[in-house]
Amino acid sequence: MSQPRDPKYSWVFQELTKNDQGQFNLESIVAYTIYKKHKIDFINQIKNRHNRDPEDQEWLIFHTQCELESSLKGFRDQATLVVSNLLDVALTAEISALEDQALLESKVNSELAVVNTKLTTIDGYINEKKGAGWWFSQVGQNFLVNILTIFIIGGFATFVLNFNKVSEWFGKLFP
């Protein structure tokens, strides 16, 4: 209480925020909120027990206790715990979302790698097969298949048309 009090702010507020360099960080604001809750509880306790508002002597005792360094430290410690828990909850949700996103990205990248490998293989096969040599080999293969088909169908047709001659010939061979 060696500091002169600024009438715009309570002395407790000034003490809880004195190291904030005018920025009023979250822990200091939460500590002051905890102090205000403590003050409301004090008022409600007097009203419930005695059916009246606190008297000047009770206010003096209350303020003297709240202005103790140990009380201020208690408000700060509670605020640190509240802010820490709040950040834990927020960060846990964010970490979980980031892990889910990383897993999804990993799966997508894995599938993309498989697709790229297949595309590269297909592209290589197509490029390998292109050219005049490939074209002539394909035409040659088709020509051979067509010739074989003609001989098979022609042979079968000849056999059917000349069945009597063929059976006589087999009869002479195998009497």
3-state secondary structure the chain: CCCCCCCCCCHHHHHHCCCCCCCCCHHHHHHHHHHHHHHHHHHHHHHHHHCCCCCHHHHHHHHHHHCCHHHHHHHHHHHHHHHHHHHHHHHHHHHHHHHHHHHHHHHHHHHHHHHHHHHHHHHHHHHHHCCHHHHHHHHHHHHHHHHHHHHHHHHHHHHHHCHHHHHHHHHHHCC
- For residue range 30-79, list pLDDT tens digits in order: 999 999 999 999 999 999 999 999 999 999 999 999 989 999 999 999 99
Residue 15: pLDDT over 90? no
**Six token digits for residue 49:** 């027990």
- C-alpha span between 83 and 87 (Å, rounded): 6
Q: Are residues 90 and 141 in the same domain?
A: no
Within-domain flag for 63: yes
- C-alpha span between 13 and 53 (Å, rounded): 23
Give the domain range for residue 29.
11-101
Residue where a domain stops, chosen among 58, 79, 101: 101
Residue where a domain stops, chosen among 59, 82, 101: 101
Within-domain flag for 58: yes
Q: Are residues 16 and 97 in the same domain?
A: yes
Q: Is-contact 67 12, C-beta < 8 A?
A: yes
- C-alpha span between 141 and 149 (Å, rounded): 12
Give the dihedral of Cα atoms 103, 105, 109, 111; nearest 10 deg. Answer: 70
Q: Are residues 90 and 35 in the same domain?
A: yes
Within-domain flag for 123: no
Q: How confident is the model at residue 16 (pLDDT cuts 50, 70, 90)?
A: confident
Q: Are residues 80 and 26 in the same domain?
A: yes
Give pTM, 2 decimals: 0.52
The confidence score (pLDDT) of residue 65 equals 93
Q: For the chain, what is the domain count?
A: 2
Diameter of the chain measured on Cα atoms: 143
Q: Are residues 97 and 138 in the same domain?
A: no
Of 39, 106, 89, 47, give the one whose Cα is nearest residue 67: 39
- For residue range 133-170, list pLDDT tens digits in order: 777 888 899 999 999 999 999 988 888 888 888 788 87
